[in-house]
Amino acid sequence: MSTPKPDPRIAVDSAGLQRRIEELALISESPAPVVTRVLFSEADVRAREYVRRAAREAGLSVREDPIGNIFARWEGSEPALPAVGSGSHTDAIPNAGRYDGVVGVLGAFEALAALKRAGFRPRRSLEVVMFTSEEPTRFGLGCLGSRLMAGTISAARAQALRDRDGRTLDELRAAAGYSGPLESVRLPAGHYHSFIELHIEQGPVLEEKGIPIGIVEHIAGPSSYRMTLHGEGGHAGAVLMPARHDALLAGAEVALAVERAAKASGSPDTVGTVGIFRIEPGASNSVPFSAYLEIDLRDARLDTRAKALAEIRSSAALACARRGVRMDFEEINADPPAAGDPKTVETVEKVCSELGLRSLRMVSRAYHDSLFMARVSPTTMIFIPCRNGWSHRPEEFAAPGHIASGAEVLAHTMARLAGQTHGL
């Protein structure tokens, strides 16, 4: 049996897509090449307007929900059917790059534009989502928009969130122009037939293997924790070493315990990071009386993640007891891993084969909005290579050819999943 040939009329405008990525990169709280767009900051608000404009230029209708998720829709001939979705995010952590998330939003717009230019008429509606706050920068909790869409976080818990300056989610979203009950953000059952997120890999595997497309079968489960250590302060010259209860040194032992536990979990996918470490009073001539840490712990397996967490907590308790420091420990989130939908994965794989693109089934060790979309819809992700696996830094780079290939695979996949009113 011969392999089907993809329709040559479905063609991605690589130059146009690259131009839009460069334009969006200039909307930043930091000068180029750095990209910083923290949730509901002035740069984030301007980026949202850019996304709305790009969606309308692609001929899509636009709506927004009370948390600020942006939906850009191409109505199908049978609009009552569950839609085929795609999308990602445009917020960016401080000192980030221009491709993380953005490729999945602008690339999805271009995928739909390519289908429109080819004369495709979808049976199912096609919808692109720009998710609010995939990054945890503002509130310490990532994927806020998709969590609310999937119902994995309550409106009450979301409203209880505070940023470092004590501002609430309701205050910040109102200032950005969003209102309405957060309960209404949750998607109705069966809203999506399937969901596919295009994203840079944020790892080195595809580049090292020379493979242009990764297809995600599993997304690692993230968990994060706050730890506050209470010691005793004092003058750095007057408090002798045997009498010290140094919160920083207890925190340093905790940070090393995180590394040790992740390495010894028994799973190659366990990763542990202390990404925030603040001390008080923060003076060179004063013994630190307080240390605040945030720990990120991830794994594709719950058992080995739990083993690592237990080791971290045990080591922290011993270090604090030895140093006479008191510890407060709080879980921020502990989400289970997600599996890609086998049929959707297979569809992407077939599209790659028909287009003559090598592909590789993969685990996503970073988590994405697809982790939560997988709770409400058959889901997978399309990965493209990024240079050296770099991400969350200004040097982040994805080649225009790889971006175009990802958008092309996405276009053909969405077309296949949506069905069509008339053949191309």
**Shared domain check, 176 and 91:** yes
Q: What is the average pLDDT across 67-77? A: 98
Q: What is the average pLDDT across 64-93? A: 98
Position 1 scores a pLDDT of 39
Confidence of residue 221 (pLDDT cuts 50, 70, 90): very high
**Shared domain check, 311 and 226:** yes
Q: Please state, in angstroms and rounded to a whole number, the distance separating the CA atoms of residues 177 and 197.
A: 27
pTM: 0.91
**Shared domain check, 414 and 269:** no
Return the closest-CA partner of residue 133 out of 149, 117, 114, 110. 149
**Shared domain check, 350 and 414:** yes
**Shared domain check, 230 and 105:** no
Q: How far from 171 is each of 130, 165, 289, CA to CA, in Å?
A: 21, 12, 32
pLDDT above 80 for 134: yes
**Shared domain check, 199 and 86:** yes
Position 420 scores a pLDDT of 82
**Shared domain check, 118 and 97:** yes
Task: State the CATH number of the domain containing residue 371.
Answer: 3.40.630.10
Examine residue 98 and state whether it is found in any structural domain, yes or no: yes
Where a domain ends, among 302, 334, 366?
Answer: 334
* CB-based contact 85:127 (threshold 8 Å): yes
Examine residue 265 and state whether it is found in any structural domain, yes or no: yes
pLDDT above 90 for 151: yes
Q: What is the average pLDDT across 65-72? A: 98
Where a domain ends, among 286, 311, 334?
Answer: 334
Position 195 scores a pLDDT of 98
Examine residue 69 and state whether it is found in any structural domain, yes or no: yes
Q: Token match 């989400």: residue?
A: 335
What is the domain extent for residue 302?
Answer: 222-334
Position 2 scores a pLDDT of 44
Report the domain count for the chain: 2
Q: Please count the CA atoms within 13 angstroms of the CA of 364 that sit on its side-chain side.
A: 31
Position 5 scores a pLDDT of 66
**Shared domain check, 375 and 310:** no
**Shared domain check, 322 and 400:** no
Mind listing the pLDDT tens digit for each residue in 175-196?
999 999 999 999 999 999 999 9
**If you average pLDDT over every residue of the chain, what do you get?**
96
Mind listing the pLDDT tens digit for each residue in 292-326?
999 999 999 999 999 999 999 999 999 999 999 99
**Shared domain check, 117 and 236:** no
**Shared domain check, 131 and 256:** no
Vertex 108: Cα angle to 102 and 114 (nearest 5):
135
**Shared domain check, 345 and 199:** yes
Q: What is the average pLDDT across 203-220? A: 97
Q: What is the average pLDDT across 10-33? A: 97
